[in-house]
Structure 1
Amino acid sequence: MPPITWPTGTAPGVNPTETGGRLINAIAERAPAGSRSEIVWRRVAGLIARFTTTQTAVRGALLVGSVLYVVSGNRVYSITSSYGVTELTGTVGGAGPVTMARNMKAPVPDVLIAHSGGMSSINISGASVAVFSDGDLPSVNSICWVDGYFIVTAENGLAYQSGLNDTGFASVDRTTAEADPDGLYRAIASGSDLILMGTASLEFYANAGNPTGFAFNRSVVVPIGLKAPYAVAGFEPGFADTVIFVANDNTVRRLQGYDPTPISGPDLNRLIEAVTNPAELIAWVYQAAGHAYWVLSGPGWTWVYDVSTGSWHERQSYGFSDWRCRYGVAAWSKWFTFDLESGKAFELNSAARRDGANPLVWTLRSNQAHRFPGRAVIHKASFDFETGIGIDAGISPIETDPVVRIRWSDDGGRSWGNPLTRKLGTQGEDLPIDINNAGLTGRKGRIWEMTISDPIEIAFFGGAMDIEERAA
Structure 2
Amino acid sequence: MLNPVPLFGIGNKARSVVVSAQERLNVYVELNDDPEKQVITMYPRPGLVTAVDFGAFPSRGVWQKGDFLYVVNRNKLYRVANDGATTELGTLDTASGRVDMSDNGIQLIIVDGANGYILTFATSAFAKITDPDFPGGDTVTFLNQRFIVNDPDSGRFYWSALLDGSAWDALDYATAEASPDDLVRVFAEAGQLYLAGTNTTEIWGDSGAADQAFVKIGGGAVEWGLAARWSLVKYMDSMAFLRKNRLGQVQVCVMAGSVAQPISNPQIEVEFTSYGDVSNATALAYMVNGHAFYQINFPTVGKTWMYDAQSKAWSVLESFGGMHRASMSAQLLGSIYAADYENGKLYKIEPAVLTDDSQPIVREFTSRHQSIGDFTRVSELWLEMQPGVGNQTGLGVDPQVMMKVSRDGGNTYGNELWTSIGKVGEYKTRAVWRRLGQARDWIFRFRVTDPVVSVFVAAWARVTK
The TM-score normalised by the length of structure 2 is 0.91
Q: Deviations over 1:222-255 (max 9, x none)?
A: 2322112122112xxxx52321111113111111
CA distance in structure 2 between the aligned counterparts of 1:94 and 1:157, rounded to whole angstroms: 27
Following superposition, the deviation at residue 289 of structure 1 comes to: 1.3
Is this contact kept in 1: 2:31–2:310, CA < 8 A?
A: no
CA distance in structure 1 between the aligned counterparts of 2:141 and 2:15, rounded to whole angstroms: 38
Q: Which amino acid counterpart does residue 244 of structure 2 have in structure 1? A: N
CA distance in structure 2 between the aligned counterparts of 1:188 and 1:351, rounded to whole angstroms: 33
The structure where strand makes up a greater share of residues is 2
CA distance in structure 2 between the aligned counterparts of 1:267 and 1:122, rounded to whole angstroms: 45
CA distance in structure 2 between the aligned counterparts of 1:117 and 1:294, rounded to whole angstroms: 30
Aligned to 1:159: 157
Q: Deviations over 1:208-229 (max 9, x none)?
A: 321223x222213423221121
CA distance in structure 2 between the aligned counterparts of 1:211 and 1:349, rounded to whole angstroms: 47
CA distance in structure 2 between the aligned counterparts of 1:6 and 1:74, rounded to whole angstroms: 51
Is this contact kept in 1: 2:111–2:136, CA < 8 A?
A: no
1:248 counterpart = 2:244: yes
Question: How many residues are matched?
Answer: 453
1:75 counterpart = 2:76: yes
1:112 counterpart = 2:92: no
Is this contact kept in 2: 1:388–1:425, CA < 8 A?
A: yes
The change in CA–CA distance for 1:309 and 1:162 in structure 2 (over 3 A counts) is same
Question: 2:227 is paired with a residue of what secondary structure?
Answer: coil
1:196 counterpart = 2:195: yes
Q: Deviations over 1:76-95 (max 9, x none)?
A: 22101111022334235163
Is this contact kept in 1: 2:281–2:297, CA < 8 A?
A: yes
Q: Deviations over 1:391-416 (max 9, x none)?
A: 4x7514x1x33221112222333332
Is this contact kept in 2: 1:67–1:79, CA < 8 A?
A: yes
Following superposition, the deviation at residue 73 of structure 1 comes to: 2.6
Aligned-pair Cα RMSD in Å = 2.2
Is this contact kept in 2: 1:303–1:314, CA < 8 A?
A: yes
Is this contact kept in 2: 1:50–1:347, CA < 8 A?
A: yes
Aligned to 2:462: 466
Structure 1 residues 162-177: aligned runs within 5 Å: 162-167=160-165, 168-177=167-176
CA distance in structure 2 between the aligned counterparts of 1:18 and 1:118, rounded to whole angstroms: 51
Following superposition, the deviation at residue 157 of structure 1 comes to: 1.0
Aligned to 1:121: 118
Q: Deviations over 1:328-376 (max 9, x none)?
A: 111111111122222111111211111121112211110122345x432
- Segments of 5+ residues of structure 1 without an aligned counterpart are none
Structure 1 residues 64-463: aligned runs within 5 Å: 64-93=65-94, 95-104=96-105, 109-122=106-119, 124=121, 130-154=127-151, 155-167=153-165, 168-213=167-212, 215-220=213-218, 221-234=221-234, 240-249=236-245, 250-298=250-298, 299-320=301-322, 322-372=323-373, 374-391=374-391, 394-396=393-395, 398=396, 400-429=397-426, 430-441=428-439, 445-463=441-459
Q: Deviations over 1:32-61 (max 9, x none)?
A: 534322222111111122111135212220
Q: Which amino acid counterpart does residue 304 of structure 1 have in structure 2? A: M
Following superposition, the deviation at residue 274 of structure 1 comes to: 2.9
Is this contact kept in 1: 2:388–2:422, CA < 8 A?
A: yes
Q: Which amino acid counterpart does residue 134 of structure 1 have in structure 2? A: D
Q: Deviations over 1:101-133 (max 9, x none)?
A: 1112xxxx2222122443333355675755434
CA distance in structure 1 between the aligned counterparts of 2:369 and 2:74, rounded to whole angstroms: 46
Structure 1 residues 15-94: aligned runs within 5 Å: 15-31=16-32, 33-93=34-94
Question: 2:149 is paired with a residue of what secondary structure?
Answer: strand
- Segments of 5+ residues of structure 2 without an aligned counterpart are none
Q: Which amino acid counterpart does residue 432 of structure 2 have in structure 1? A: D
Question: 1:446 is paired with a residue of what secondary structure?
Answer: strand
The change in CA–CA distance for 1:94 and 1:275 in structure 2 (over 3 A counts) is farther
CA distance in structure 2 between the aligned counterparts of 1:395 and 1:458, rounded to whole angstroms: 15
The change in CA–CA distance for 1:231 and 1:33 in structure 2 (over 3 A counts) is same
Q: Which amino acid counterpart does residue 442 of structure 2 have in structure 1? A: R
Q: Which amino acid counterpart does residue 219 of structure 1 have in structure 2? A: I
CA distance in structure 1 between the aligned counterparts of 2:34 and 2:461, rounded to whole angstroms: 25
CA distance in structure 1 between the aligned counterparts of 2:40 and 2:273, rounded to whole angstroms: 32
CA distance in structure 2 between the aligned counterparts of 1:273 and 1:282, rounded to whole angstroms: 16
Is this contact kept in 1: 2:229–2:280, CA < 8 A?
A: no
CA distance in structure 2 between the aligned counterparts of 1:23 and 1:394, rounded to whole angstroms: 23
Is this contact kept in 2: 1:10–1:314, CA < 8 A?
A: no
Q: Deviations over 1:137-185 (max 9, x none)?
A: 3342210112211000123111111111102111222111112222211
The change in CA–CA distance for 1:156 and 1:89 in structure 2 (over 3 A counts) is closer
Q: Which amino acid counterpart does residue 313 of structure 2 have in structure 1? A: S
The change in CA–CA distance for 1:54 and 1:336 in structure 2 (over 3 A counts) is same
1:12 counterpart = 2:23: no
The change in CA–CA distance for 1:296 and 1:310 in structure 2 (over 3 A counts) is same
CA distance in structure 2 between the aligned counterparts of 1:448 and 1:9, rounded to whole angstroms: 15
The change in CA–CA distance for 1:74 and 1:279 in structure 2 (over 3 A counts) is farther
Is this contact kept in 1: 2:78–2:90, CA < 8 A?
A: no
CA distance in structure 2 between the aligned counterparts of 1:51 and 1:265, rounded to whole angstroms: 37
The change in CA–CA distance for 1:91 and 1:126 in structure 2 (over 3 A counts) is farther
CA distance in structure 1 between the aligned counterparts of 2:307 and 2:130, rounded to whole angstroms: 38
More deviation, 21-30/137-146: 137-146
Is this contact kept in 2: 1:55–1:343, CA < 8 A?
A: yes
More deviation, 161-170/266-275: 266-275
The change in CA–CA distance for 1:9 and 1:318 in structure 2 (over 3 A counts) is farther
Following superposition, the deviation at residue 17 of structure 1 comes to: 4.6
